[in-house]
Structure 1
Amino acid sequence: MKVSDFYFDLPEELIAQEPLEERDNSRLLVLDKNTGEINHRRFKDILEYLKEGDTLVLNNSRVIPARLFGIKKETGAKIEFVLLKRVDKDKWETLVKPGKKAKPGTEFVFGNGELECKVLETTEIGGRIIEFKYEGIFEEVLDKLGQMPLPPYITKQLEDKERYQTVYSKINGSAAAPTAGLHFTKELMEKIKEKGVNIAYVTLHVGLGTFRPVKVEDINEHIMHSEFYSIDKENADIINNTKRQGKRVITVGTTSTRTLETVGDENGFIKECSGWTDIFIYPGYKFKVVDNLITNFHLPESTLIMLVSTLAGQENTMNAYKEAVEEKYRFFSFGDAMFIK
């Protein structure tokens, strides 16, 4: 299968630049994966499609303000670091712009000197491993100095940092939001629970590799980035009980989907575990755990639209995207949602 099989023409004006005032007032395209039938609703209507006994699986990772702007100690030259993942206590893998100013051994300072770092080594993908020096608690220093690492297609700065977090975010570590969850409000979550739908949480810290384009024409040759995941016994038990009862496991977002499909056995059961996943789901893959999916509208030719196509069928998915463009749905992180039923 070729990357070009997942291309669609997306007008730039459909790329959402900011979130809606009401999270659950976004539009919802409902796609029947068996028939290809499409319905147009509002996200708050998701309640109608959830049944008692279903389990909704959410990624509770929280975005850290991972973009830091500093200066080179020796010259005062400006530099931008984006934290990708923690390697050790104060050591991080980062992306750097401009990279030529960040050779191993170089030191940088941020803010009024509250935070400093030294470049230790260069990574295989051209990033840098750095080590921070600071006084106090790192997370508090980062919260003061860092900015939200919004995707490159969003050009507006976000006034309220919490709008790039889900209302149930809990575990710090992501460099990008698990955006399918941005549509949920606390009130909607309560209504879902009242209906008898189970809620289970997994953690997958989203890396910026999520936005990395597929640069090979044959998708079999694409190499995925790796991301850290964890799931505890309580939440594994909720999902396993759902499978035993023949009810549906509905993931919110491609991150929750990739986590469950990484840890699931051939019978669709999972266990308490943590680790790194680089699973790449594209047509031909057989889902073990996940039955249905709530997701946003993704980049053309991305690994994310390939995952969606695997669950809903490539033809159904591309037809749905074509209709979403015609109906002027909002795309990407702050855009509208799709439910594959």
Structure 2
Amino acid sequence: MNGFPTRAPVELEDRPREQQWLVDTLWGEQAVGIVGGEPKCGKSILAMDLAVAVAAGVPCLRHFAPTRPGPVLMFPAEDAGHLVRKRLHGIARAAGARFETLDIAVIDVPRLRLDDPDDRGRLQQTVERIAPRLLILDPLVRLHGVDENAVADVAPILGFLRDIQRRFATAVLLVHHARKSGAARPGQALRGSSELHAWGDSNLYLRRRDRQTLLTVEQRDARDLDDIEIEFMEEDGEEPSFRLRQPPQAGVAPQPETPERRVLKALAGARAPLSQRQIRQRAATRHKTVGAILKKLVQEGRVERNAEGGYSLVASQPDKAAPAANGSDPDAGRFPVPTAHA
């Protein structure tokens, strides 16, 4: 027995930036990770959007370009074949890709279990044959019979998928459910063991807020993006696909409408002071969050609270300061008031 082989740091691979990404700033080259979110928030659609991007060489969400397109292997455990076909067709059409030539291989079996040695062996053989750039397994809960809360049960499954990633130089994407909770970070809301959050190199999380869908991007070895606001689009009876809600500027992800912004818009659109309950309803934001935001805005002098407990934006007071030399109000811009929705 001779022990493990070693290399000096200078002998390790050096990878230029364009080779660090499978899909630019969204998913790392040969990264393992999770597309997560609450049920019915579009996780499978986002995973398929990534699949079409990699397979056809078109931008994911019509913006994030794949750097090295190639084959995709996927197993949609919950959807019938005709639904998978319809969804991929709709996404391909929205992305401007030819559906007939999509380089996607769909595993066509009723059952695949990652805790079954025989199924593991067959999956490895399939990955070796297809040589995918991306492997998608959707969703994790249908791919095993173990206790997701037990590290001892979950770790071998994640270790097996990491082994596939390393042996076959492929990225691995798991679709997984999140609990409905107020976790500070979306990854902490994933159902089951914290190993799932820690395992990912690239993680994408979807959250519904009122009529908005926010995409949070987490990377192990790169700067995270700001939250991205996306929306469903439907054309000519096709299955819906995602797109960015606002056109990106200079390669920067669009900023989401934050809870504070929604509170300010609710106040700006009111003709009379609003109670905290009314603000919570109009801003579609949790009671505790609204309370913290209102306290902050009052302390900053941007919102005032009357004797009856109603809140309103602080009115401009031009008589408190003389106009500037150029005739502008010196307080202009200090407390910007967002315009209300039409």
TM beyond 0.5: no
Q: Relative contact order: is structure 1 or structure 2 higher (C-alpha 8 Å, sep ≥ 6)? A: 1
Structure showing greater radius of gyration is 2
- Normalising by structure 1, we get a TM-score of 0.28
Structure showing the higher helix proportion among its residues: 2
Q: TM-score, normalised by structure 2?
A: 0.28
Task: Select the structure that is richer in strand.
Answer: 1
